């Protein structure tokens, strides 16, 4: 019988921002391919609902309410995962935020909150997960959700663009440092995904139609469009891929 290189059976994955949008889609997708999933979010009801969806697939799910800007909460997320499953194989740093405003109106509070959630949190959570993976001695996969703005900046999201560029750099740094442990670190870079985070943009008809004209595939993406690439990076199918970015952008940056 041929080997299924995309099989995630026996693997444990942590997905941040797992209660909605891209995080929810990826969490369920990983479970569909056999993984048990730990879901983190600040909203209990959301991750409880996703956890039940995963359990309905016959997989285990653990929802943990976490404020990613607090180091103590990151430790609690790691401890909760280890206590429940004894190991960690995959981390998806999905949680993020953005502020829609022109650069001249950005204040320190918007800058700091964006950098804290989009860069600081995934770096230190990756560090903590990386230490676990190093101790385990069997490698692992870390997947950062960046954005097409790492190649093509957008207007009126001043703090967001540099925060994703920084996470893009973190991906490469960790990939280089941890390759010797067989810990692979990659990123997925979507564009214009129809999520709650992006709803202010999609509510603007002129913006919606103008951006749609730039996408060769002729449609804006939905969270499910990222699932296949996430499963690929989490699985043995990508065992010789690290430090790279997969653009899931419908050809926008081509």
Q: What is the CA radius of gyration of the chain?
A: 17
Which two structure tokens, joined as six digits, stand for 102?
A: 């022109």
Which two structure tokens, joined as six digits, stand for 32?
A: 């569909």
- Alpha carbon of residue 67 to chain centroid: 16
Contact present, 87 and 35 (Cβ < 8 Å): no
Respond yes or no: is residue 160 known to be catalytic: yes
Q: For residue 157, list its beta bridge partners.
A: 101
Determine the Cα–Cα distance for residues 62 and 81; give it in Å rounded to an integer. 8
Residue with tokens 């991750």: 47
What positions carry a catalytic annotation? 160
């Amino acid at each position: 019988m041929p080997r299924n290189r995309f099989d995630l059976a026996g693997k444990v994955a942590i997905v941040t921002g797992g209660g909605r949008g891209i995080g929810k889609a990826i969490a369920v997708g990983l479970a569909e391919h056999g993984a048990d999933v730990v879901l983190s979010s600040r909203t209990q009801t959301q991750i409880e609902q996703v956890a039940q969806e995963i359990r309905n697939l016959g997989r285990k799910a653990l929802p943990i309410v976490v404020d990613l800007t607090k180091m103590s909460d990151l430790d609690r997320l790691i401890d909760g995962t280890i206590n429940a499953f004894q190991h960690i194989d995959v981390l998806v740093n999905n949680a993020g935020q953005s502020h829609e405003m022109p650069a001249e109106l950005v204040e320190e509070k918007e800058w700091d909150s964006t950098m804290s959630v989009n860069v600081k949190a995934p770096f230190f959570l990756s560090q903590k997960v990386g230490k676990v993976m190093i101790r385990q001695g069997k490698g692992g996969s870390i997947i950062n959700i960046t954005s097409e703005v790492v190649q093509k900046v957008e207007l009126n999201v001043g703090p967001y663009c540099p925060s994703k560029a920084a996470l893009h750099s973190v991906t490469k740094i960790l990939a280089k440092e941890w390759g010797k442990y067989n810990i692979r670190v990659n990123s997925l870079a979507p564009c214009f995904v129809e999520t709650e985070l992006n709803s202010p943009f999609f509510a603007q008809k002129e913006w919606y139609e103008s951006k749609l004209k730039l996408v060769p595939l002729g449609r804006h993406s939905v969270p499910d469009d990222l699932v296949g690439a996430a499963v690929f990076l989490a699985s043995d199918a990508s065992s010789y891929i690290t430090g790279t970015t997969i653009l899931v952008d419908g050809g926008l940056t081509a």
